[in-house]
Amino acid sequence: MMRHSPPLIISLLSNPAMAETLSLSQWDLLVRQARRAGLLARLGFLLEKQGIEIPAQPANHFVSAQFYAVQFSVSLQWEIRLIKKALTKVDIKPVFLKGSSYVIADNQVALGRVFSDVDILVDRSELALAEQALSAAGWMPSIILNAYDKKYYREWMHEIPPLQNYQRGTAIDVHHNILPLTCRHCPDSKKLLENKVDCHGDWLLSDIDRVIHSAVHLFHEGEFTLGLRDLSDLDLLLKEFSAQENFWKKLLQRSEELKQQIPLFYALRYTHQILHTPVPEKVLKASKQQSPNRINTKLMDALFLRALMPDHESCNDRWTGLARWLLFVRSHWLKMPVYLMVPHLLRKAFRRVMGKERH
């Protein structure tokens, strides 16, 4: 059913030394797959670490992507500074999430990671104040919402509508939880905030919560354009943190506390299966015990093993499109109970037909 050999980029991510043996036409394909997967810069850094000499033509593309990623990280640090400055005025200290937290903690996973917005987490009681302070500093709602969409965000979502700086165009997502409140297994955000850690004066989720958040994000996602990049994030996070004492045990325990056993199960299963992340056998087993039943796992394998490949013609088979579509439907299913979802989708569809909505 699945192709026999994995896409070239998968082999390279788990075994960069393989680059020594690539022909120029394989480099051509590798650059294209990596670019599409958002992994060109990261792969460039990984190959550099291995001391691999890339032929001149493909090297231009890796170096360009690395250049961009380095500059991105410089601008990001400036942006973080400005966000903190704006929020300090109202005595709010945010917890930085995802990409920006990796950069602050200088995690391996920050390597070559380029993203579009800074995500922060504040207590729900601070939300309005945080929004006011950011708006005073120039971050305005980036899209004009109608009353229904506003209500949708405020009542059901885990974040307020995205804000964008009117001068720099930079975007910020202000969260009060890591999953929508309507989600079946929404974690208690108090627990996340309780375990936050201080890193050079900034607050981040704890190492373990950072892994869980990354898993929660990827496996509730409806679009997998950058799915492999996110899987590679998990791979690097797990590799880096697994050196800590009792890491695996704590990770499993914590997933239970936050009701996120299923996303963690998928994270461990697919990083191990696709990228050969060294997850101990007994951890995989323990995590499986908290997992859905076997038939379901087989179905999810058929979907995720396709959708997590780069969105490139060389990585698709005849079922890829269907798999991506089913996972898109699944993400809505997970995020909203049916009695909310059906009217919501009907309303959206009606407005689109009437030409009142474009997304």
The least distance separating another protein from the CB of residue 94, rounded to whole angstroms, comes to 26
Residue nearer to another protein on the CB measure, 67 or 166: 67
Distance CA 239, CA 194 (A): 25
Contact string 312-331 vs another protein (x = CB under 8 A): xx------------------
Considering only 60-68, 96-104, 126-134, 251-259, which stretch makes contact with another protein by CB under 8 A? 60-68
Considering only 31-39, 92-100, 171-179, 319-327, which stretch makes contact with another protein by CB under 8 A? 31-39
* Out of 13, 19, 32, 264, the residue judged to bind another protein by CB under 8 A: 32
The least distance separating another protein from the CB of residue 172, rounded to whole angstroms, comes to 20
Distance CA 296, CA 301 (A): 9
Return the ∠ at Cα 281 (arms to 275 and 284), rounded to 5°: 75
* Out of 7, 16, 38, 58, the residue judged to bind another protein by CB under 8 A: 58
Considering only 30-38, 93-101, 171-179, 237-245, which stretch makes contact with another protein by CB under 8 A? 30-38
> What is the DSSP secondary structure assignment for residue 159, as one 8-state letter?
B
Residue nearer to another protein on the CB measure, 174 or 309: 309
Residue nearer to another protein on the CB measure, 29 or 305: 29
Q: Is 113 in the site for another protein (CB under 8 A)?
A: no
Exposed, middle or buried: residue 227 (CB in 10 Å: 0-12, 13-18, 19+)?
buried
- Look at residues 85, 86, 88, 107 and name the one whose alpha carbon lies nearest to residue 98: 107
Helix then strand then coil, in percent of the chain rounded to 5, is 60, 5, 30
The least distance separating another protein from the CB of residue 190, rounded to whole angstroms, comes to 41
* Out of 1, 4, 5, 23, the residue judged to bind another protein by CB under 8 A: 23
- Hey, which residues does 140 pair with through a beta bridge? 164
Strands 171-175 and 163-165, by their bridges, are: antiparallel
144, amino acid identity:
I
What is residue 118's three-state secondary structure? strand
Residue nearer to another protein on the CB measure, 146 or 314: 314
Residue nearer to another protein on the CB measure, 312 or 344: 312
At how many degrees (to 10) do helices 40-49 and 24-37 cross? 130
Of residues 67 through 96, those in contact with another protein by CB under 8 A are 67-68, 71, 74
> What is the DSSP secondary structure assignment for residue 164, as one 8-state letter?
E
Q: Write out the two tokens for 167.
A: 């001068």
Which residues contact another protein (rule: CB under 8 A)?
23-25, 27-28, 32, 35-36, 55, 57-58, 60-61, 63-65, 67-68, 71, 74, 312-313
